[in-house]
Structure 1
Amino acid sequence: MTIGLAACGGGGGGNDDDDGGDPVDPPASVGTVTGTVINAATGNPLANASVTIGEYSTQTGADGSFTLPEVAAADRAVAQVEAPGYAATFRITPVVDGASRSITAELLPVAHESVITVSTGGTATVPGTPARVVLPANALVAADGTPATGQASVELTPIDPAVNVDLMPGDFTASTPNGVQPLESFGAMRVDIRSSAGDRLNLAQGQTATIRIPVATRSATSPNTIPLFHFNESTGRWEEEGSATLGGNGTYYEGTVSHFSTWNADRLYASVNVTGCVRDEDNQPVSGIRIVSDGIDYSGTSSATTNANGEFTIAIKHNGRATLSSLAGTRVTNTVSVGPYTAATTLGTCLTLSSTASAVSVKLTWGAEPDDVDSHLYLPDGSHIWYQDEGTLTAAPWANLDVDDTTSFGPEVVTVRRLMVGTYRYAVNNYSETYDPGMTQSPVRVEFNANGTRRVFTPPSGEAAGNDWWTVFSFTVDAQCRISITPVNTWSPSAPAPSGSSTPTYCTAP
């Protein structure tokens, strides 16, 4: 199957009010929100997913894309994204008057559904994981407070921010008495309880339930006790309520909650500011670019926007390590690793934004094991980008291993600033040669970004001891820089053969 990557339309926007009456008059300052919804487990686009911002909603098209026009301008709009069989998530985006902003939402398939009798209560679990909810008898009510009866379905979905921070609702910020503060997650879980008629149920006032959240963190250690935070779906912030205790030989956090949504075992962290800049390939400052951090030794993220001089200041964890990068519509920057810092720091070099859409990035992440998983990019001219030949972005082959990691989780990031005509291949190697777990169960995740479109790949079946190489995909570039990507998904005991040697021809975008 070959999938073209190009600008594409999405589902139509709707602006009816909640009771289906007369259309709502659009606010004076409006912007457009576009994006794509994908299955977080497979990377495939999700059709007919619902995307809602305030009073405006739409559904994704067959390619997972959507468009919401005439959304009220706001610094932080909360987009609710849901689909049957998936755990709902929430993305945060600015909405700029007269402009368009794009988001990507990854929906996790519901991990497990349990059916309990309301009058007796019961325990819901996710087999093979520590995830659990224990409900007391007669504890559930409908949204209007009416006591629930009969049976209820309990959907549990653990969230692993150590593998992918984008799975977490919101933007890792909490509302506290001291203002908005950043969070580091040690694991989260979505709990959705429904009646037999499909209506949402929750705990009655004065009732509590016990939850176990599987530990999932990039941190080297987990605290014995940790605050619990729940996600406020209206504000898009996390709010502290209660605490949890480490149990199961460090495999889960257990605590008591008084209602259900998404619960997160978190702690606030002290941060330091990192100041940097973004330039284009002509060394000119680029304003309005959103820079994103991704913790390397902690599970958290943050963002900042460049000013008129192309400068930004972004917060990362005090004494922590993180990557900085940007996807600016169809253009990409290189990725840099920063930290650890104990005081405010200014970077010595700027991030460079590609001059056209003819650039791609590939991001590899994985779990605690195997320790070392490696990226390999094979270029049309026979070049091979890997840890022994990291390449360069300032001369041929215009491809580089920006970030290398040898101590669990990743990321490893490859950027291609100028594309050759021909076929590229990307493969992943289990350099550690350990299989408990292997790359499939780690789990390994590969994210491909090009032309403003994200594709996610996870390992197929067939991994075995000695089959250390997963060839993930190939992508072909034509003379006009149009890209088509073809999933390969094969395992082998040895590295892919080089693509051959030839004089490179670089594409020219129209």
Structure 2
Amino acid sequence: MFTHCSIVRPITILLTLLLASCGGAPADNPNISGGGNGGVATERNITVSVTGTSGTVVLSIGELNLTFSGDGSQTVSGVSSAEEVIARIVSVPEGESCFFTPSAQTEITVNRTADLECGGPSLSGYIKDFVSDSAIPAATIRVTHAAGELANITSGSDGSYSLENVTIGDRMVLSVRADGYAPYSAIVTITAQRPIFEQSIFLSRIDRAKTASPSDVMDFVLNGVTVLSVPANGLVTASGAAPTGDVTAEITLLDGSSEPRSLPGHYELSAGGHFETHGAISFVLKDSADNALSLAPSVNAVVSVPVAQRAKESIINGETQLIINTLYAFDETTGTWGDSQISRLVFEGVTYLYRSTVSSLSNVYSVGQPYPSGATVSGCLIDLQGNFVAGAQIITQGQDYIGLTYGTSDANGNFLIPAKPESDILVYGLMNTRSQTAEATTTEGVLVLNECILLDISTTVITLTWGINPVDLDSQLFGPESEGAARFHVFFNNKIVTVNGITMFLDVDDVTSFGPEVTTLQAFPLPGTYEFFVKLYAGTGTIANSPARVEVNAQGNSFVFSPRGGTVSECWHVFDIVVDNDLQGVVIPKNNWVSDSGCDNGLR
């Protein structure tokens, strides 16, 4: 739920003045500075950069034309701080698409920087470990679209991949495999507003590899329960031959309670619509010769999916248990979920599972229920200067259920995206960085967000997630001192802080396990050192074994942090951001366990 005032075009005054007029700094709050860091400058420099071009680009900055012969940057000095400046594209090389980022517009209002990105339609990114953020080299990426296979590529030593022969409007499925990881598929559509698409993909490590003889009944066990049972001689290779040697099952539990993106695809059903998951699991079956295995003809297997932690409250601990559910199989070719089967709730040991009989094997299964139809969310995206952001990916994420829906902002920054009716959701955008996060409650019709969501390359977004225990972890952000005021502190008891006209928010504060907690800095208001901590506020267990995870999108760069070992405390110093006098930040990993005073007062 947003509490800052709306910013709509056209902007006729400086953003800092606009934000100050939205409320500014309460005089009785010592953590908030409404003053300056040396006063208000009367002039500013504007730095303009161009990347990705193969020829000559001409831009206008106000009344001045700048010519770029290839990639580079130029600075316009001595611009009045009171002057509104418009940056426009005058000309670009034939055949190239060029847009200002992240707004994907050809004309923008500019403050201190204007970044132009050029090139033809392309797709690139990195394959990374979900927990450690480390690069995964030699991952295979199979790209399919409606006409069949488009490409089959391999990630480089730094985890990077790229694809040039893509088409505007083409829906592509990127199916990724890597040794030691569960299979995953991402969905990408290149749009005219976003022809240069960056998509990093995070993979989950397999939980267990279990070996069995193919001539015996094969019961594959995870966490003390049988999750897949195959009859003796029930598996064959793609050619129909018996397996060579023993069978290995790589099993991964995909509990989307804290991170719903751990499931492949976009939660789309092959029959249309979307679904919420109540639990998911991945199987990869191979023989000793590394041949992929499937069920033999006329053979049935039993699949049992453990119930996700977040789903237990509604489907098991609620007034009425959901005894009969639906099992969906993920289709890597279409990127959708289908082949639905009846699934029944069972209790084995200390675990609730949904159990189904299947006649063919998929690599990924999920149990769940389709959304009722009719609910949508309408809104818009803007950057710090009030420019509408086109071509951004828009996501709704359930807070009282596990599920996602995806959409794209149009040329005017507007979006209309389906959602689960009568539910609590988060809404945010992605486009080379992450936007501020809006909290909302859907209806059975169209929910119109009251304000545009901020997405800007200068913005820093910090997302904390964790498991079922401890029940409450808290985000703690400390900023540098400013003249005449103490360090500011953004946390659950001080959710909105404004310094030098720049506002920082604790967008989302979660107190009932899993998260997310989301902290957003519109920009860095002061030079100096910013510190971020995670505090164990309530519940059993530790931050480390929860496990906690912090994802940072800072001025267009992304980082992931997970707690290290050692002597665990109730305060985790995750990282610092050191900001220079040009208000550009560098993330400095810390990953240290410190005393409680660190989370209460910072370390500086």
- TM (norm. structure 1) is 0.85
Higher mean displacement: 476-485 or 288-297 = 476-485
2:64 alignment partner in structure 1: none
Q: CA deviation at 1:463?
A: 6.3
* Aligned mate of 2:574, from 472, 479, 497: 472
Which residue, 466, 471, 489 being the options, matches 1:366?
A: 466
From 267, 278, 281, the equivalent of 1:189 is: 281
Q: Assess if the C-alpha contact under 8 Å between 1:141 and 1:204 holds in 2.
A: yes
| TM-score (normalised: structure 2) | 0.72
The answer for the alignment partner of 1:380 in structure 2 is: 480
- Looking at structure 1, the residues matched to 268 and 241 of structure 2 have their Cα atoms a distance apart, in angstroms, of 33
Aligned-residue offset at 1:217: 4.8
Match of 1:289 among 359, 369, 392: 392
Residue identity opposite 1:168 in structure 2: L
Of 76, 85, 89, the match for 2:184: 89
Are 1:139 and 2:234 an aligned pair? yes
1:412 equivalenced with 2:517 (yes/no):
yes
SS in 1 for 2:395: strand
Counterpart secondary structure, 2:538 = coil
- 1:3-18 matches, within 5 Å, as none
Q: Is it true that 1:279 corresponds to 2:378 in the alignment?
A: no
| Corresponding position: 1:34 with 2:129 | no
Residue 324 of structure 2, aligned match among 225, 228, 235 = 225
AA aligned to 2:408 is T
Q: Which residue of 2 aligns with 1:311?
A: 414
The 3-state SS of whatever aligns with 2:199 is strand
Per the alignment, do residues 204 and 52 of structure 1 end up closer, same or farther by CA in structure 2, a change over 3 Å counting?
A: same
C-alpha displacement at 1:67, in angstroms?
Answer: 1.6
Q: Structure 1 residue 75: deviation in Å?
A: 3.9
In the alignment, the residues of structure 2 paired with residue 463 and residue 369 of structure 1 have an alpha-carbon distance, to the nearest angstrom, of: 19
Residues 148-185 of structure 1: CA deviation (Å, up to 9, x unaligned): 25311111111111121111110001112xxx111101
1:336 CA drift (Å): 0.7
Partner of 1:352: 454
Query: Over the residues paired in the alignment, what is the CA RMSD in angstroms?
Result: 2.6
Contact 1:130 / 1:213 at 8 angstroms: preserved in 2? no
Write the deviation string for residues 209-262 of structure 1: whole angstroms up to 9, x where unpaired.
112222115343222221100011100000033122222266322222221311
SS of the residue aligned with 1:55? strand
Cα distance in 2 for partners of 1:433, 1:485 equals: 30
Residue in structure 1 matched with residue 93 of structure 2 by the alignment: none
Q: 1:416: Cα distance to partner?
A: 1.2
- Counterpart of 2:429 (choices 326, 331, 334) is 326
* Helix, strand or coil at the partner of 1:221: helix
Letter of the 1:445 partner, please give it: R
Change (3 A) 1:343 1:241: closer
Deviation at 1:461, TM superposition (A): 2.6
Letter in 2 for 1:202: S
| 2:164 aligned counterpart, secondary structure | strand
CA shift in 2, pair 1:117/1:268, >3 Å: same
Relative distance call for 1:300 and 1:71 in structure 2 (3 A) is same
Q: 1:395 to 1:305 in 2, by over 3 A?
A: farther
- Residue type matched to 2:378 in 1? T
Query: Where do residues 417-432 of structure 1 align in structure 2 (5 Å cutoff)?
Result: 417-419=522-524, 420-432=526-538
Partner of 1:336: 438
Q: What stretches of structure 1 of length at least 5 have no aligned partner?
A: 1-6, 10-28, 502-510
- Whether the aligned pair in 2 keeps the contact of 1:57 and 1:68 (CA below 8 Å) is no
Are 1:175 and 2:307 matched, yes or no? no
The secondary structure found in structure 1 opposite 2:261 is helix
Aligned counterpart, 1:299: 402
* Amino acid in structure 1 at the alignment position of 2:335: G
* More moved, 306-315 vs 164-173: 306-315
* Secondary structure in structure 1 of the residue aligned to 2:412: coil
Distance verdict in 2 for CA 1:181–1:32, change over 3 Å: same
Q: Equivalents in 1 of 2:533, 2:224: separation in Å?
A: 30
**C-alpha distance in 1, partners of 2:603/2:249?**
54
Larger Rg: 2
**Amino acid of the residue matched to residue 301 of structure 1?**
L
Q: Percent identity?
A: 29
The number of residue pairs the alignment matches comes to 465
**Alignment CA distance shift 1:227-1:89 (3 Å):** same
**Alignment match of 1:238 (pick from 337, 342, 361):** 337
Could you say which residue in structure 1 is the equivalent of 2:257?
162
Q: Quick check: 30-39 or 242-251, which moved more?
A: 242-251
More divergent stretch after superposition (216-225 vs 264-273): 216-225
How far does the alpha carbon of each residue in 1:422-481 deviate from its partner, in whole angstroms, 9 at most, with x for none?
32221111111422xx333333221111344432222223465xx221112223233455
Listed as ranges, the gaps of 5+ residues in structure 2 are 1-49, 53-118, 144-148, 316-321, 482-486
Cα–Cα, structure 1 residues 338 and 41, in superposed 2: closer, same or farther, change >3 Å?
same
User: Structure 2 CA distance, aligned partners of 1:55 and 1:64?
Assistant: 20
2:551 aligns with: 447
Give the Å deviation of 1:196.
0.6
Q: Deviations over 1:326-351 (max 9, x none)?
A: 12224x42111010424322121111
- Return the alpha-carbon distance in structure 1 between the equivalents of residues 130 and 294 of structure 2: 26
Query: Which residue type is aligned with residue 269 of structure 1?
Result: Y
**1:116-159 superposed Cα distances (whole Å, 9 cap, x missing partner):** 11111321122x35462112100011012223253111111111
AA matched with 1:245? R
Q: AA paired with 1:125?
A: V
CA distance in 2, matches of 1:385, 1:42: 26
- 1:384: how far off? 1.2
Query: Cα distance 1:445–1:499, how it changes in 2: closer, same or farther (>3 A)?
Result: closer
Equivalent residue, structure 2, for 1:123: 219
1:403 aligns with 2:499: no
Write the deviation string for residues 88-128 of structure 1: whole angstroms up to 9, x where unpaired: 100001024692111121111111111111111321122x3
Contact 1:30–1:95 (CA under 8 A) maintained in structure 2 = no
Change (3 A) 1:449 1:262: same
